[in-house]
Structure 1
Amino acid sequence: MIGPLAGCSGGSTTTTKPSDFEPPLEPINVGGDGDLYDPKRLIDVNITMAASDYAAMKKEGRTLASTARECVPDYEYTEFTATVTIDGDTMKNVVIRKKGFLGSLSPSRPSIKLDFDDLHDGRTYQNMSRMTLNNNRQDPSNARQCMAYDLFRKAGIASPHCNFARVKINGENLGIFSNVEPVKKPFLKEAFGNKGGNLYEAQLADFGTYLSQKFELKTNESENDRTDLQQVVDTLKLSDAQLIDALPQILDVDEFIRFWAMETLLGFWDSATGNANNFYIYHSTDDKLLHFIPWGADTAFTGAHVFKPDSGPMFRNLSLAARLYDIDTYREQYFSTLEDLLNNDWNEAALQEELSRIRLLTGTPEAAFESISNFISGKGSEGDDDYIASQRQKLNAALADSDATGTAHLLEDVEVDCSQQPKTTNLSGSITASKGTDTGTFTFTLPNGRTVISNIMYAGTKVDSIVYSLTDYTNPSVVGLLLIGVDISDFTKAYVIQLFIESSDYKPGTHSLQGLATNAILFEADDSAPLGVNTLAMGATGTINISSVGSGSNVGDVKLSMNMKLEYLPGVE
């Protein structure tokens, strides 16, 4: 009966020859049983992909404006296919995509994720199915992430393993990346002995009626049972005595305080307790407790908070840390834990030796280590013009003076109407700086509907109205152009545009907005404001078109035009 039934569909049929059949690919472990995260290892990663795919991948990423919204939209990176060779072992049909939320986004050196298993079920490289390669854009030393995770782990905190990779794509040498162990189920199994619990990733998320919704559930998504987070929210509302009894039943409090103290010791400002950012929470199915896991540690060993400078050095910009700090028992435990880490885990000589090892291994210029070295050991003597206190000195001073510990800044736990679209404006203009003469205009529309034409030349009668700068605390470095213009309809009003362009892209051509690497911020001059300006809007989409740039003694010369859409910040009218 098989033969007659085969043609009952009424359509044409195709007979597959045995030679046309491709059997399923067998599971395979490429590269043997080596340690992919051996800290003494510098891995060579060579990637080949279609040129059009590479160009498209580099352009992807959030813009600054989208991250400033009250409801940050999801962003899905495109998955491409590549051939990847790691230390001489080649794998075809590897899935590659860009990664990054904001600070690490780069159109010239994209952070990437590799998936060996997606298109070849069961394939691993040295027993790992994925690789995460971070570009260290915010860390020219390339040292911060690996050193931070190592210190967390030595302090008893589950942390990713990490080493270094030299990355090339289509023959282009992108330099040194951090090879960071992904926080996935294999990591959970090794760290906690189980992998079936809820894993949450936090990017600007905290415990709260509404803030808890910002935690992204990475496992058990179909069940979407978040009662474990709600238990923390409810517990934080209890009296001190009730909290002391209830919290250890849902969260490893001693471990969290050690985690918090290590973030403090590392001066890791863009962290859980520093910025309600860059961390995971795992609900272990063995002890039934929540555990914090550090992530995105490229701002460790920096100290000063970029956006909340009065919140350090003892960061508590997370509701859990802030609440525990207000309870005498837990505050004293935090202080004593910090002192213990300072006395037993923080060894300046050993840290400086590790910096030297990383510098020699990666070939990173010595100048790139200056800031992290100064953070660890300080610089000069008190009273010197260039004196920098060491982290030990700063923390000992704060421990001795409770008024010097910093102020808590918490995310606001309010319901947000995500149906409201941000107010926008088109920004256009052309400017020229040539041998000390600045000319040009830029035009935009305020939320009230009034069109503003700002003239660079009018501002130039009082100040340098096109200011060039180069910052080297990123890799690649970033060119900043400060454009100051006066409203031609109201000479009392001055507006400022801050342009950012990666130095590798600071050349004639058209450059699309992306992250902090290529973007624009619009300010209104206001002498009464803390920094002399009020931030109005940030770049959403569009381009900066450079016609020419100067060099040598005329490095500040430039001719460019702008055509972009900006989003006004919430509350700007």
Structure 2
Amino acid sequence: MKITTFGRKTGYGHGLWSLAFVGMALLAGCGGGGGDTEVSSPSDFEPPAEPVNIGGDAELYDPDRLINVSVTMSPADFSQLKSEARTLASTDRECVPEFDYTEFTASVTIDGDRMDRVIVRKKGYMGSLSPSIPSLKLDFDDLWPGRTYQNMTRMTLNNNRQDPSNARQCLAYDQFRQAGIAAPKCNYARVSVNGQDLGVFTNVEPIKKPFLARAFGDDDGNQYEAQTADFGTWLSRRFEKKTNEKENDRTDLQAVTDALALPDEQMVNVLPQLVDVDEFIRFWAVETLLGAWDSATGNANNFHIYRDPGDGLFHFIPWGADTAFRGAHPLKPLTGVLYRNFSLADRLFNIPEYRARYEAELQDLLATQWDETALLAEVARIRELTGTTADAAASLKTFISGRGEAGDGDYRPARRAVIEQAIAEETPTGEVYRLSDTKPDCGAPATTSLTGSIKSEGGADTGAFRFTLPGGQSVNASLTFAAFEVDSLVYSVDRESKPAVISLLLIGADVNDNFTPYVLQLFIEASDYVPGTHQFHGFATNALLFEVDESQLGDVRTLALGAEGAMTITRAGTGASEGDVELTLDATLEYDSGIQ
């Protein structure tokens, strides 16, 4: 057993230790949420409720405001709400299954104003999912048509699971707005459910028709939400239509796809008739400056597009900005500083005129908008408003202003220096990771049961995990035998998550197959790292299976992801023995589609 903070170890599989960070970030920040299930309207025997605005005309998104939101609902309903989640494995399929969160009825009190018959449901795609602190959506007018709270029909409360500083989302959206990009407003809320304090959430303006009317002066156009989506014959199908759903006319997406298929000299003439290209380049530059890796140009993820009837052009809207002010892409580590993991950005970057315009936008943002002193002052203000600790905001401050001096072991340059150096490179570094525009395989994935019994005590790691390869070969990966070569159980804590996440990196050798090594990484929120049975839940409690392959980055290749099941902890150490653990596994994994 070894307790570590994402270090590296010599010997075979030395790159494995980076998994404790990469694995935790897998599929993170994938914002969004499933559609809503049907909820009955009030009984016809009840008197009709009159339209009403609760709370007066105060600004719901006043940045100086910390709202108190108290939800009261059936304990059984809240238990079910917390438990609902997509499976980690399902989000990795080429055809992601549809998923709906259940809607519940609750009473909600906001800053002393009580509202009954409010619809409450969980929200989140993957990175923000938590079994203990769920993100929430509140709908005030579904069961009471015309009811609003401070002129809004809904509230979206993000749990800040990927941002313990509580500041990244509001800081990021403010930077977009300063650059002239339509972006949601936001502030903060302290949320409790049935008297349980869940902590500080970000209260984000929903990207709905009221936002479109405010930002564009018209809400009749086509709006799409992107979760790992891009323009393409097949990829465009991943855009979820959010307005004009009944008509489902998606020819505007096809027009952009067709334009991007043209040679450069034709594309640059056609594209500006479909997309506000100048605005997109500035949007792209802001995403890059903010180091928002889980974004449109960083990850083909977490954004909306809106075709404004006024000019007939597509406009990009940022969303899911809790991974902003990070920079490095944990899933695509060779991306580099200048993001272009998106078809539109990649095509424009490879045309010298447009690359120059993109770099000029970055330089203009640095010269006219990026103010380190003002940003740090805003971080301090948010900390004071929300009661956030200095440690929780440390990585955000380091991103902005840097740390140490060149040559120091923990040196990190300020974001301004990182961007300036990237622009100065004659040949840009970094690889491009674009989604493949191919017909998806919607067949059922290969699965395997995963069982195991693991024990770590006083530095001795024993036990094994067992599974079956797609070809039928049974694997018994023994930690006991692997311990002769490496630390076969590595315990680490990711404090850049809220709550913190425990990672157990297990290395087992199959004695029946020439001691072939396999790696199993288990995750569980620190608040759940106690004796008991813990069901797999999104990425908060789950498992990743790898095989050692020294030709791959990090020396491993992903084999399978957790689908369903549980880990049962019988003992979890604390204090000086925090790495000691005893647990069993009983789960199902889905193999990656490329694994034979």
TM-score by shorter chain over 0.5: yes
Q: Which residue is equivalent to 1:221?
A: 245
State whether structure 2 residue 415 is matched by structure 1 residue 425: no
Shift of 1:330: 1.3
Pick the aligned partner of 1:176 from 196, 200, 214: 200
* Unmatched runs of 5 consecutive residues or more in structure 1: 1-19
Matched position secondary structure for 1:373: helix
1: CA distance between counterparts of 2:539 and 2:406?
Answer: 35
Shift of 1:492: 2.9
1:11-90 equivalences under 5 Å are 21-90=45-114
State whether structure 2 residue 482 is matched by structure 1 residue 459: yes
Matched position secondary structure for 2:187: strand
Partner deviation per Cα, 1:181-216 (whole Å, 9 max, x = no partner): 000000000000000111000000000011000000
1: CA distance between counterparts of 2:118 and 2:214?
Answer: 25
Paired residues of 1:522 and 1:538 also in contact (CA < 8 A): yes
Pick the aligned partner of 2:219 from 195, 198, 205: 195
Counterpart code for 1:253: V
1: CA distance between counterparts of 2:426 and 2:95?
Answer: 36
State whether structure 2 residue 547 is matched by structure 1 residue 524: yes
Aligned residues, how many?
553
1:108-507 equivalences under 5 Å are 108-418=132-442, 420-507=443-530
1: CA distance between counterparts of 2:545 and 2:430?
Answer: 30
Counterpart code for 1:93: R
Shift of 1:427: 0.4
Q: Which of the two has higher C-alpha Rg? A: 1
Counterpart code for 1:214: R
Shift of 1:307: 1.2
Matched position secondary structure for 2:67: strand
Matched position secondary structure for 1:158: coil
Q: Which residue is equivalent to 2:3?
A: none
1: CA distance between counterparts of 2:430 and 2:477?
Answer: 40
Bigger mean CA offset, 341-350 vs 309-318: 309-318
2: CA distance between counterparts of 1:242 and 1:524?
Answer: 46
1: CA distance between counterparts of 2:155 and 2:53?
Answer: 14
Pick the aligned partner of 1:98 from 112, 122, 128: 122
State whether structure 2 residue 547 is matched by structure 1 residue 551: no
Paired residues of 1:257 and 1:334 also in contact (CA < 8 A): yes
Counterpart code for 1:528: S
Counterpart code for 1:34: A
1: CA distance between counterparts of 2:546 and 2:342?
Answer: 29
Matched position secondary structure for 1:47: strand
Matched position secondary structure for 2:182: coil
Counterpart code for 1:270: D
Matched position secondary structure for 2:453: strand
Counterpart code for 2:198: L
1: CA distance between counterparts of 2:47 and 2:191?
Answer: 33
Bigger mean CA offset, 393-402 vs 126-135: 393-402
1: CA distance between counterparts of 2:354 and 2:153?
Answer: 40
Q: Which residue is equivalent to 2:590?
A: 567
2: CA distance between counterparts of 1:445 and 1:216?
Answer: 36
Bigger mean CA offset, 305-314 vs 522-531: 522-531
State whether structure 2 residue 546 is matched by structure 1 residue 534: no
Paired residues of 1:397 and 1:404 also in contact (CA < 8 A): no
Matched position secondary structure for 1:428: strand
Paired residues of 1:454 and 1:488 also in contact (CA < 8 A): yes
Matched position secondary structure for 2:211: helix
Counterpart code for 1:216: E
Partner deviation per Cα, 1:210-235 (whole Å, 9 max, x = no partner): 10000000111111101111111111
Q: Which residue is equivalent to 1:14?
A: none
Shift of 1:466: 1.7
Q: Which residue is equivalent to 2:31?
A: none
Shift of 1:482: 1.2
Q: Which residue is equivalent to 1:9?
A: none
2: CA distance between counterparts of 1:528 and 1:331?
Answer: 33
Partner deviation per Cα, 1:31-59 (whole Å, 9 max, x = no partner): 00000000000000000110011111111
Counterpart code for 2:242: K
Counterpart code for 1:423: A
Bigger mean CA offset, 243-252 vs 473-482: 243-252
1: CA distance between counterparts of 2:344 and 2:77?
Answer: 43
Matched position secondary structure for 1:310: coil
2: CA distance between counterparts of 1:551 and 1:352?
Answer: 35
Shift of 1:438: 1.6
Shift of 1:22: 2.6
Counterpart code for 2:538: G
Bigger mean CA offset, 375-384 vs 209-218: 375-384
Q: Name the TM-score, length of structure 2 as normaliser.
A: 0.92
Paired residues of 1:441 and 1:453 also in contact (CA < 8 A): yes
Matched position secondary structure for 1:58: helix
Partner deviation per Cα, 1:253-272 (whole Å, 9 max, x = no partner): 11111100100110110000
2: CA distance between counterparts of 1:441 and 1:397?
Answer: 48
Partner deviation per Cα, 1:295-344 (whole Å, 9 max, x = no partner): 00001000001111221211011000101111122111111111111110
2: CA distance between counterparts of 1:529 and 1:466?
Answer: 22
Paired residues of 1:132 and 1:182 also in contact (CA < 8 A): yes
Pick the aligned partner of 2:538 from 512, 515, 523: 515
Shift of 1:399: 0.9
Matched position secondary structure for 1:119: coil
1: CA distance between counterparts of 2:433 and 2:80?
Answer: 38
2: CA distance between counterparts of 1:385 and 1:453?
Answer: 40
Partner deviation per Cα, 1:392-425 (whole Å, 9 max, x = no partner): 001101111132442221100001131x110000
Q: Name the TM-score, length of structure 1 as normaliser.
A: 0.95
1: CA distance between counterparts of 2:306 and 2:553?
Answer: 40
1: CA distance between counterparts of 2:483 and 2:515?
Answer: 14
Give me the identity figure in percent: 60
Bigger mean CA offset, 148-157 vs 432-441: 432-441
Paired residues of 1:64 and 1:540 also in contact (CA < 8 A): yes
1: CA distance between counterparts of 2:319 and 2:445?
Answer: 30
Shift of 1:21: 4.6
Q: Which runs of 4+ in 1 moved over 4 A?
A: none
Partner deviation per Cα, 1:504-555 (whole Å, 9 max, x = no partner): 0000111111111100011112333321222110100001111111112111
2: CA distance between counterparts of 1:299 and 1:341?
Answer: 20
Shift of 1:140: 0.4
Partner deviation per Cα, 1:423-459 (whole Å, 9 max, x = no partner): 0000011111112222212111100011111222111
Partner deviation per Cα, 1:121-152 (whole Å, 9 max, x = no partner): 00000000000000010000010000000110
